Amino acid sequence: MRDNKSLRYKIAVFDMDGTLTQHVSSWQLIHEKLGLWDKDACRYQEQFLKGRISYRRFCELDARCWKNMPVADITSHLHAIPYNRNVKTTLRRLKKMGLKLAIISTGLDLLALKVKKDLQIDYCVCNKLYVRKGRLTGRVKIDVAHGEKGYIFRKLLKKARFRPDQAIFIGDSATDLPAAKIAGLAIAFNASHDGLAEAADYNCRSKDFREVFAVIKKANTQYNSGLPALF
């Protein structure tokens, strides 16, 4: 791994669901696999989106649906979610380039911890399901709330000792917008939200992470060569 002192951007921070992995929501996937989405979970989401319940309450109701279920059954569904194309190759190259890697996700730790290990992620902040004696308790710890990714992004960068202008953020949805607005380089990966697409410095539309790598490499190469910045 190279020393990152010469790099303009020193850390790449990724959203997980829909960005690194193909399913847009690890929460929703569990409900779908267990046949609960159309029963209660879809209704809870609708109540949250209409402002009738808080995000915390929304998550608590979701987690309660899984009370007493074997954690092994849940992880087997989550761990089967595929990565987007060339994610592993791209992150391996970014590590070799000298970048630190991080995840900030409203998704679940049962998936995020696997992704962290698979992709050699340095920092990971996500939401956590409580487990006791191999079964879910029906409780959840919210470490990344809806609309708070900007705050978490700043907090993570402070811990990692990087400035926002030294950071890259890569995401796909409206929840990623607060962090994208702060980052020195914001990349939208097939954005599902017009606001994110407009705020991003670059929009990837190929569904292939080699495009993400090319953007980051070019930005850092121009910096090292003394050429004008790409964006």
- pLDDT, residue 230, reads 39
- What DSSP string runs through 8-68? S--EEEE-TBTTTBSSS-HHHHHHHHTT-IIIIIHHHHHHHHTTSS-HHHHHHHHHHTTTT
The CA distance from 27 to 64, in Å, is 12
Right CATH for 4-22+83-225 from 1.20.1440.230, 3.40.50.1000, 1.10.3720.10, 1.10.2020.10: 3.40.50.1000
Q: What tens digit of pLDDT does each residue of 62-92 get?
A: 999 999 999 999 999 999 999 999 999 999 9
pTM of this structure: 0.92
CA 98 to chain centre: 20
On the CB side of 55, CA atoms within 13 Å amount to 12
Question: How many beta carbons lie within 10 A of that of residue 153, not counting itself?
Answer: 25
Q: Residue 24: which of 87, 80, 107 has the closest Cα? A: 107
- pLDDT, residue 38, reads 86
Three-state helix/strand/coil letters over 87-137: HHHHHHHHHHHCCEEEEEEEEEHHHHHHHHHHHCCCEEEEEEEEEECCEEE
Using a 10 angstrom Cβ sphere, with 0-12 exposed, 13-18 middle and 19 or more buried, the burial of residue 125 is: buried
- pLDDT, residue 231, reads 35
How far are the Cα atoms of 4, 102, 201, 229 from residue 224, in angstroms, in the given order?
11, 23, 19, 10
Which residues of the chain have a pLDDT value below 70? 1-4, 222-231
Domain chopping of the chain, boundaries: 4-22+83-225, 27-78
3-class DSSP state of 184: coil
